[in-house]
Structure 1
């Protein structure tokens, strides 16, 4: 014990005596003399302080000069570099398959969705031909297991985030109803029982994908996704659902819903088919995301069988499934916001470079340049946090923190990006001649959306 204590003490701060240089020794002596009564008695303190100051300054100059005495070498060989070894760090570069999927979706979004967005926004509905053409992309199929004729062999949360981002780059309002069935397929694949998967998933891998949505939001102030007003009550045949749900895309045409409700004070998801007795739909257009054809789902004593609860059984499995779905949907909305925010950035940059005032482009003005730079910074912040959360979810790691941060950035920065985009366009930003005013309204919707787009 004595040896251990001695060894420990020898490593403590100040225990090791360092070799003192001549300058250090002289300074130690001068310091001791300056602080003594002898120096005070004979009035030597000030002269000695000046000596110490000059000596220190001269000593540092000498040391500096010595340190700068480099010896030139001829060299001629290859420079030494540290090895770059992949260590599995977080990497934003998609693999070849992901890049191909994202590029295909982005081409579809810019060539098909964006030209149709203006009319779809006015009509508050997505055109049927576009809903049909989206099935040809196979977006839903990539989330259906191969056993059900799908293409999913591994969990593809990052791929889904890239798809949502690319789709919203064209138009978020149209992206939401196009991606909603994919969210249902993802939820059934990740959390559905064997019977639920065999019943519903084969239809999501075919050419005629059923219109469907994960329904969580409710039309109440201070809505909390984990404290729902929609209630599920046990009955002999299974469960009875009562409540009102909002933010349901393509509600009038939907065939299947995954509905969030409270069961014994805990949230869970229930499979509800559109022809269930007691279920009705109301149109509910809003400020943004008008092209999604948003509606309300009225549940008036809707009965569902006992096997309709998602997660396989009541209790912890059902709550865990619901919690993950909500968090994945928040990442989904953030991915949509990242795509639309990038569209805003790509639209305003050429505008401020071409628009002239007082004989020069307005981008030469510092206030304008700083605003554009801020938009670019915030776009990356939303995207990086979202993809990090998607990456962790795909690896089976906790992503609760990233989902919360992504949602916070979407609410605060997404809305600000839309507002700044309008500001940079001046009076044009207020008109429907330019799409930025629509993107601003859609970004507002992304900040309050729950459910629907599940990665």
Structure 2
């Protein structure tokens, strides 16, 4: 992958070059083996943190990279083109940092944010529950305020946590009162007495980074672990998800680009009837459609990111980017398997893995049906 990127500064160009160097050295040689064996990449996120890639869109004063979102997303795309699971986990970490950065007090940020942005603590996002996925207002996990002022006791089950059991902290959403205005946000330590995790889910793809359930059995979170005000949780969650959807859009675009690159490479080498298969119009036009779709997905997420960077509303555009990029990833990876024919259906080539990995992008951070709901509501006069 060597996308000709239009970057806003020379510093951003250097950052992309650094990302490509790290990705080619640390991700590409390991991805096939680790995904096949479902092996966690020990030390890899420390490497990414030391390179400054885990806090890019956050302020330098707290250890972040101070980069525009449009640059951060293109870094994420580069990672995803080599190893989708790592890129998704990086996106989730950035998502998990959002509540503290945006709604935390100055004291909270000074205390915890540097370790998070520098990658010394990897984050997980704990919103979904077994019976509350897209309907976040239906959360039942409870946070009971203690009369002695010691904090909150957490009871309940959370689901679908990327980096579950391995993260150093979780952005946790739990119920402090009835109703849709009764959800609150907490910054929960990964090592908390009374917190345990289920076995990793047996997934179609993204197998090297665990996704688990979490079980809260009366764990005590100190009062200063509350982020924002009581009852502000859904506002915080939805604010974070707008940005998180752009992260998934970038990951999906990187995955689609990788599939396109693999298909083009194969089509340039494989011959039938005395010609390279890319020279057959039927196949050449299929590849052209794939390339156009990847370009469109990238342009769409960059448009939304630039709106975010300018401080303009971008919720509808974020949903559109997530919808378009992830549908594109599913189609392009499927078409890549078709280009390779029988070989595409084997594990000797990576396109079958790309196809399996693409499917989840249409589901998490809000299913694509939810994205259509968000977009349609944005059109109401």
TM-score under structure 2 length normalisation: 0.84
What residue in structure 1 maps to residue 47 of structure 2?
133
Q: For this pair of structures, how many residues does the alignment match?
A: 355
Q: Give the conservation status (yes or no) of the 8 Å contact 1:189–1:197.
A: yes
Q: Aligned residue for 1:197?
A: 109
Q: Which moved more, 1:105-114 or 1:393-402?
A: 105-114
Q: Secondary structure at the match of 1:223?
A: coil
Matching residue of 1:214: 125
1:405 paired residue number: 320
- Does the 8 A contact of 1:109 with 1:166 survive in 2? yes
**Aligned counterpart, 2:76:** 164
| Structure (1 or 2) with the larger CA radius of gyration | 1
SS at 2:173 equivalent: strand
Q: How does 1:170-249 map to 2 (within 5 A)?
A: 170-204=82-116, 206=118, 209-220=120-131, 223-224=133-134, 226-236=136-146, 237-249=150-162
What residue is the counterpart of 1:260 in the other structure?
Answer: 173
Stretches of structure 2 lacking an aligned partner (at least 5 in a row): 367-381
**8 Å Cα contact 2:152-2:222 kept in structure 1:** yes
Say which SS state the counterpart of residue 202 (structure 2) adopts: coil
Q: 1:434 to 1:230 in 2, by over 3 A?
A: farther
Cα distance in 2, alignment partners of residues 213 and 425 from structure 1: 37
Given the superposition, is the C-alpha separation of residues 307 and 280 from structure 1 closer, same or farther in structure 2, using an over 3 Å criterion? same
Instruction: Give the Cα separation in 2 of the matches to 1:233 and 1:219.
Output: 17
User: What per-residue deviation string (whole Å, max 9, x for no partner) do you get for residues 34-86 of structure 1?
Assistant: xxxxxxxxxxxxxxxxxxxxxxxxxxxxxxxxxxxxxxxxxxxxxxxxxxxxx
CA shift at 1:178, angstroms?
Answer: 4.3
Match of 1:298 among 205, 208, 215: 215
Q: CA offsets per residue over residues 339-376 of structure 1, 9 Å max, x none? A: 11111111111211221112111122232122211211
Quote the RMSD (CA, aligned, Å). Answer: 2.5
Structure 1 gaps of 5+ residues are 1-90
Specify whether residues 260 and 160 from structure 1 end up closer, same or farther in structure 2 by C-alpha distance, changes over 3 A only: farther
CA distance in structure 2 between the aligned counterparts of 1:425 and 1:334, rounded to whole angstroms? 25
**Secondary structure, aligned partner of 1:383:** helix
| SS across alignment from 1:227 | helix
* In the alignment, structure 1 residue 314 sits paired with structure 2 residue 230: yes
1:44 equivalent in structure 2: none
Q: 2:195 aligns with which of 255, 279, 297?
A: 279
